[in-house]
Structure 1
Amino acid sequence: MHKNGFVTRTMILAAICIAMSFLPLSACAQSTGWQCAARDVLDRYQELAEANGVVLLGDLAFIADGPRGLVILDVSEPTDIRFVSEVDTPGDAKRVVIADAVALVADTIGGLQVIDVSEPASPAIVGAVTTPGTAVDLVEIDGLVYIADIVGLTIVDVSNPADPAVVGTLTTPGDAIHLGVSDSVVYVVDGALGLQVVDASEPANPRLISTLEINSTLGIAVNGERGYLTHSYAFLTVLDLTNPAQPQIVETFDLPFRPSTDLTLSEDRLFMDGLRAVYDLTDPDNPTYLGAGLAPGRQVATLGSLALVVLDNTLVSVAIHDIRPSGVLGRLSAQGVVEGLAIQDAYAYSAEYEYGMHVIDVSDSATPIRITSIDTGGFTHDIVIQDDYLYVMDDASGLRVIDVSNPTIPAIVNEPNTLQGQRIAVAGNTAAVLSTVVRFVDISEPTSPLVLAAHTVGGGGSRYHNEVRLAAGYAYVSTTSRLYIFDLAHPAAEPLAILDGSRSAIAVDPIRGIACLATDDGIVVIDISEPTNPLQIGQIEIEPGNQPVSIEIVGRRAIASLERYGNAWLIDLEDPSNPELVTSANGWFNTSLGAWDIEVSDNTAYFGTPVDGLVILDISDCPCPADFNHDNTADSRDVIAFLNAWAAQRGTDCSGGCSADFTGDGLVDSRDFIAFLNAWNAGC
């Protein structure tokens, strides 16, 4: 018995080893969480100039890198992208395609640049041709290159790369910025003047055969008899191109953001603005939103489970085994500018400037519902909650205290007062009210707030410029230039410390003894374990010239929402002295001013944005399916535990659930075995 058991176990382990040698890499178990999806980002190569276009061919990425020209990178190890070579071009490289061993570059004022890349380590320009306008996009088919050059369409014969020749041109009425080609028909995106359809069956004599008058067109992708057209007004239009002389609109869909010109087709998927949004085209007339990766950008190139995305100075490599939802759970438009948020139980409380305080039911994150509102007397700014009381800053009637023991019937319980300010923080019996002066207030009796002390701190004197946090008995006041630390046990005393260099937004983790402060283009990490002697221990640049307007610390990570473009970044604080960017949520919030307040409850983040109102984001991390025995480690013990369960449950009725039903299909069979080994091989 012992010998047979040994042989059986040995055979099983041998089978596992053999099976694992053929297993593909696998991502974590699916989750909609932002932190989970962040693990799909494999590497960021941030030494480009102005990454505009990308082509992935084998182990090489070819980048149209603006003023730098063509850059070639080695992506054979997607987790370690490496430089190979570059060649300067006379203009700004906007797009690149590869035909045989030749790179064709749309080079703005440089027209079309033809580059020999047969030796990737030493690319060389072998031909060029000027275009009537500024070359910004191109498609190559059978030795002909179709170029959008603002003034119209230019067709170039590149059958002899050393001697490219213009064979035909057509001026369009608008600005030709993008194009698609199918069966000698060219679809030119012509900006404000819609879509121009050109018959190029005679390349020397391209002729306009129809115009689809759609305002503010941006980009197009053509897939046989269907076209997908984006608009600057956040629409995606599906076109029937069966008869190019009479293109028909099939359907128009709203988009959750304003797209750019960048659309990429890959098999039955449509990638928009890098991985900002991904659609399934199995039904070509009804694109199904699959989700979003964590790398919005100008263009994407895919090969199998790898995607490369270019944006600004960066090439991002992303694993796309599964396209997950971006993490956005729900949205609710605001009546006014959301300047502050508070979350308690199943309710969100929103300070909406001239429209007062609003109560929102967020029990179903996908469909938040506005329940009621209350006028606070003037313009409502910041808002916090403690127990069943809201503390609201109003520029006319001061600190208003609202009883929300019944959230559907909020009631103001104090009189108007002179405690005007833009920011507020509450801890225990103390509130800190902040404008250019910080006032510490006794709120032990919420109906009668009593000022304890006041200190001038300066700053911009607005909701947007100063911020205050209370934690572990101390007040942290951040202005446009300084951080002040006060001892709440002695509110009238001078600050314990003053540190120069802050930029308003601040988050505090008293357990770890650190604070994150905004700078002009990132954050600094401050050691506050000794409040009398705060020390800067770490710093990270997020985006040059793009200042964080709100920061929130969640476990070992921070969320920073930036001022411009509605971008938000997840930052790893595992080592506070060396904070690292994890990933961004660029484009998920259609706002030019960032999120002015971020509140976190469990695995959900609530963003208060000036334009989009309330945005609810899942920030959960990945579950680890390989950790079968739930001991927070994926090791051989999980393999043994799974095999025991699999052997016991194989062939049984799993309609009520079986632990070994790894695929969740109600059966325990070989597919579960392979699925578990895939997950175990990937690890946690």
Structure 2
Amino acid sequence: MKTLLKLSFVVMAVLSLSACSDKIKETYTVNTPEYLSYDDLRSSFQMKSAQTIIQPGKIYFKDHFIFINEYQKGIHIIDNADPANPRFVSFLELPGNVDMAIKGNMLYADSYIDLVTIDISDMNNIREVDRDEEAFPYIIPGFENGVLSRIDQSKGVITGYKVTEETVEVDRNDITYGVFPRWESSFFAADALSSAKVNSTGNGTGGSMARFTLYGDYLYAIDNASLHLFDVSDNSNPNFTKQIPISWQIETLFPYNQLLFIGAQSGMFIYSLQNPGNPEYISEFRHATACDPVVVEGDYAYVTLRGGNLCGAIESQLDVIDISVIENPEMVKSYSMKEPYGLGIDDDVLFICDGNAGLKIYDASDPLTITDKQIAHYPDVNSYDVIPLGEVLLLIGTDGLYQYDYSDLDNIELLSHIKIYQ
């Protein structure tokens, strides 16, 4: 399961040479991996008292609880019985966590290369009940410019890098300027409650940036190129069943009406879930390289494409795709955006997280005139992803968790805001 990703590095050399010597000196910035041992990783889960949010990631909702990923650190749990007054419950320390999903009273979360099953039936006594080791490919986190020291996977998972400079003397004839050895590896890209319980049936709801999702008795998770299936008919004991190659740079999952929509930097892929244990390819819609979450309602899929940086060179935009003929999806309209991330759709109300440009809300009843019918715009909210819940919108961004009451579209009300402190 260890797919290899080739890394290449450009190094600026500082040369010192003597007129009478064939030796030269080169100085490199060296990124030396820091490891968490496998034993320490697998004994690291803890339920702790509530903590402030510092670097939020994915968001998830189940019953009246909000679960917010603290990037690669763990999961914040918030009691949202009163959306105007959300209360922190606890923090689940889970190194390497990025994604999550909930079936009944079991929370599934990644912890670097492991899939961890956590019993949340009693919010005062949250417990790890199962761990599938090496369920996902080995992770190499990003690092700054320089040379990466060799990876030793036997030492554990990589949690970061120690940056140093190293000067070596080499023979002039052995130098190849500009390109250095490539190492290969794979990656998977407050107050406590007195008697809080989580419903033992049903699934939770994730945002459009999710890489974990549930359908029937199956948990689906994606790495950078493949779909991983786990049978969760016994929800306390996931059983890996298969891995399906999809495409390079897949990013998001969205289930809808026995279909699974997979967002990738190259396009949108559609799979049938008529047999949840064996998703079958139906069709795809290709676009220029861009980061690409997707949501679906009725006969239309809505895709935000974010260009620039590592996401591609195209202009950022919203694409509306007609999926009424599922075997032949066709784009019907494209709208310019600033830097869109996640999005949500609820009964023709479209919510778009346009990054620094804020939260934008549109009437999407006519896909050809969406931006002509803007319902609201909150430009001061740096938005990342949303979950519309019928009347209340959950929004996570770099400056915190926002909740809006949108039951009256003529008078959308901010219910609460939990700030981020850095």
- TM-score normalised per structure 2: 0.59
Residue 429 of structure 1 deviates from its aligned partner by: 1.0
Structure 1 position 526 matched with structure 2 position 321: yes
Q: Provide the secondary structure at the position in 1 that maps to 2:342.
A: strand
Q: Provide the secondary structure at the position in 2 that maps to 1:549.
A: coil
Q: Is the 8 A contact 1:393 1:424 kept in 2?
A: no
Match of 2:241 among 437, 452, 457: 452
Residue 442 and residue 393 in structure 1: after superposition, are their counterparts in 2 closer, same or farther (change >3 A)? same
CA–CA distance in structure 1, aligned partners of residues 258 and 320 of structure 2: 20
Q: How many residues align?
A: 276
Q: Is the 8 A contact 1:506 1:515 kept in 2?
A: yes
Q: Provide the secondary structure at the position in 1 that maps to 2:73.
A: coil
Residue 432 of structure 1 deviates from its aligned partner by: 1.4
> Given residue 366 of structure 1, which amino acid in structure 2 is its aligned partner?
A
CA–CA distance in structure 1, aligned partners of residues 97 and 260 of structure 2: 23
- What do the CA deviations read for 1:411-466 (whole angstroms, capped 9, x no partner)? 222214333357111122122101211123221112222233323334446xxxx1
Residue aligning to 1:442: 231
CA–CA distance in structure 1, aligned partners of residues 107 and 324 of structure 2: 30
| Structure 2 spans left out of the alignment, 5+ residues | 1-49, 137-187, 190-210, 307-315, 412-422
Residue aligning to 1:497: 283
CA–CA distance in structure 2, aligned partners of residues 389 and 514 of structure 1: 32
Q: Is the 8 A contact 2:395 2:403 kept in 1?
A: yes
- What do the CA deviations read for 1:289-344 (whole angstroms, capped 9, x no partner)? xxxxxxxxxxxxxxxxxxxxxxxxxxxxxxxxxxxxxxxxxxx9943422111122
Match of 1:550 among 342, 352, 356: 342
> Given residue 360 of structure 2, which amino acid in structure 1 is its aligned partner?
W
Residue 419 and residue 455 in structure 1: after superposition, are their counterparts in 2 closer, same or farther (change >3 A)? same
CA–CA distance in structure 2, aligned partners of residues 569 and 554 of structure 1: 14
Residue aligning to 1:412: 128
CA–CA distance in structure 2, aligned partners of residues 442 and 579 of structure 1: 40
Residue aligning to 1:485: 270
Structure 1 position 394 matched with structure 2 position 111: yes
CA–CA distance in structure 2, aligned partners of residues 623 and 494 of structure 1: 42
More helix by share: 1
Residue aligning to 2:336: 541
CA–CA distance in structure 1, aligned partners of residues 93 and 51 of structure 2: 18
Q: Is the 8 A contact 2:103 2:214 kept in 1?
A: yes
CA–CA distance in structure 2, aligned partners of residues 528 and 428 of structure 1: 23
Match of 2:86 among 352, 363, 368: 368
- What do the CA deviations read for 1:173-224 (whole angstroms, capped 9, x no partner)? xxxxxxxxxxxxxxxxxxxxxxxxxxxxxxxxxxxxxxxxxxxxxxxxxxxx
Structure 1 position 432 matched with structure 2 position 217: no
Residue 451 and residue 538 in structure 1: after superposition, are their counterparts in 2 closer, same or farther (change >3 A)? farther
Residue 579 of structure 1 deviates from its aligned partner by: 2.4
Residue 533 of structure 1 deviates from its aligned partner by: 1.9
Q: Provide the secondary structure at the position in 2 that maps to 1:402.
A: strand
> Given residue 535 of structure 1, which amino acid in structure 2 is its aligned partner?
E
Structure 1 position 514 matched with structure 2 position 300: yes
Residue 467 and residue 334 in structure 1: after superposition, are their counterparts in 2 closer, same or farther (change >3 A)? farther
Q: Is the 8 A contact 1:441 1:453 kept in 2?
A: yes
| Structure 1 spans left out of the alignment, 5+ residues | 1-331, 625-684
Residue aligning to 2:312: none
Residue aligning to 2:402: 615
Larger Rg: 1
- What do the CA deviations read for 1:509-548 (whole angstroms, capped 9, x no partner)? 2xx13211112422111222333222222322233xx2x2
CA–CA distance in structure 2, aligned partners of residues 522 and 451 of structure 1: 37
Structure 1 position 381 matched with structure 2 position 93: no
CA–CA distance in structure 1, aligned partners of residues 403 and 392 of structure 2: 7
Structure number with the bigger relative contact order (C-alpha 8 A, sep ≥ 6) is 2
CA–CA distance in structure 2, aligned partners of residues 419 and 561 of structure 1: 31
CA–CA distance in structure 2, aligned partners of residues 406 and 527 of structure 1: 44
CA–CA distance in structure 2, aligned partners of residues 513 and 339 of structure 1: 30
Structure 1 position 575 matched with structure 2 position 366: yes
Residue 567 and residue 601 in structure 1: after superposition, are their counterparts in 2 closer, same or farther (change >3 A)? same
> Given residue 353 of structure 2, which amino acid in structure 1 is its aligned partner?
S
CA–CA distance in structure 1, aligned partners of residues 63 and 236 of structure 2: 23
Q: Is the 8 A contact 2:363 2:375 kept in 1?
A: no
Residue 370 of structure 1 deviates from its aligned partner by: 1.3
What is the alpha-carbon root mean square deviation over aligned residues?
Answer: 2.6
Taking only the aligned residue pairs, the percentage that are identical comes to 18
CA–CA distance in structure 2, aligned partners of residues 497 and 588 of structure 1: 38
Q: Provide the secondary structure at the position in 2 that maps to 1:380.
A: coil
